[in-house]
Copies of this chain bind each other. A is one copy, B any other.
Amino acid sequence: MNAAAALTKKDFETDQDVRWCPGCGDYAVLAQVQKLMPTLGIPRENFAFISGIGCSSRFPYYMETYGMHSIHGRAPAIASGLKLARPELSVWVVTGDGDALAIGGNHFIHAMRRNIGLKILLLNNRIYGLTKGQYSPTSLLGMKTKSTPQGSIDRPFSPVAVALGAGATFVARTVDSDLAHMAGVLKRAAEHQGTAFVEIYQNCIVFNDGAYDAITDKSMRDDTRLMLEHGKPLLYGKERNKGIRLRGMEPEAVTLGENGVTESDLLVHDEAAEHGGLAFLLSQFDVPTLPVPLGVFREVGAPSYEEMNNGLQADARERRGQGDLASLFNSGDTWTIV
């Protein structure tokens, strides 16, 4: 098991029955993650998967790695402790829209700002699955659920915007049904130093089926989603003739060739933009007025929290030498009674 090179997807499957509903989007994510693991060159025993509570949070039971299915909303906090204590581990958090953004909102934003080396996968089905269908902080306005029989009156979060607002250094979005895209985004997340946040649109076939039809349905998805590529203009559409232009500071969907619009009028994607204004603008896009961006919104470099923490310890040792109990006890004012 030690030779990371020899690992395969199978090595990351456990003997536990997978207990999601047949047809649940979670299966696809699990499969992609199990496929990704052996490609990272990390020994299996150095992975840890931490989750909260929710359908999606059953994830660790199916990963033949170290793992914890913890309590609702707290996975980022637990994972932060683990990562700080053991920076050499590859620590992944798997969470849901309720887990991460309802009860766990605080730990979520603090993980983002600290830039601690966690890979956070948020399986967003815009519903509480495990508790059988209440609306979540990402459910759309007006959505009828068990707890909102007249329709929700809560404006939804954009998880990407919340992450950006909290200072995230890596923010991406993908969707359960596009395996290739998911694979690419997950790989990028794995390679990022510091907190990597990936929102995964995930279909809950039981309580919110079709939530993402607008962007997954083959007949229309090319016109409703915007595949982000660093350094490339924001182009989309079946004929790749639609694009995003800036008007003042407001985005606008335009068609190439109409009203003299050319590719050079379009916004160019820049993951690394220091101030993140573009990423934030993109986080506000939604159908029907604007296409839904998929891909990496932002990736900027910054020292990771665990690195800086290591630095503090190294510094302290350099200045004071490795700690020694006897001299610690005897420091400060002492007196001797004979």
Contact = CB atoms under 8 A, between A and B. Distances in A.
18 contacts: A104-B106, A105-B109, A109-B157, A113-B137, A114-B155, A150-B316, A151-B312, A153-B305, A154-B305, A161-B167, A162-B165, A165-B165, A248-B270, A249-B273, A249-B278, A250-B277, A276-B280, A280-B281
A27 B330 CA distance: 45
A8 B110 CA distance: 42
What range describes how many residues of A lie at the interface? 35 or more
A268 interface: yes
A146 to B, nearest CB: 15
A307 B6 CA distance: 61
A114 B165 contact: no
A267 interface: yes
A204 to B, nearest CB: 21
A275 B302 contact: no
Interface in A47-75: none
* Identical chains bound together, number: 2
Interface in A287-316: 302, 305, 308-309, 311-312, 315-316
Contacts of A284: 274-277
A158 interface: yes
Contact of A114 (B154, B248, B270): B154
Interface string A139-169: 0000000000011011111100111111100
Contacts of A104: 106
A337 to B, nearest CB: 32
Interface in A177-236: none
A250 B274 CA distance: 7
B154 A315 contact: no
A251 interface: yes
A115 interface: yes
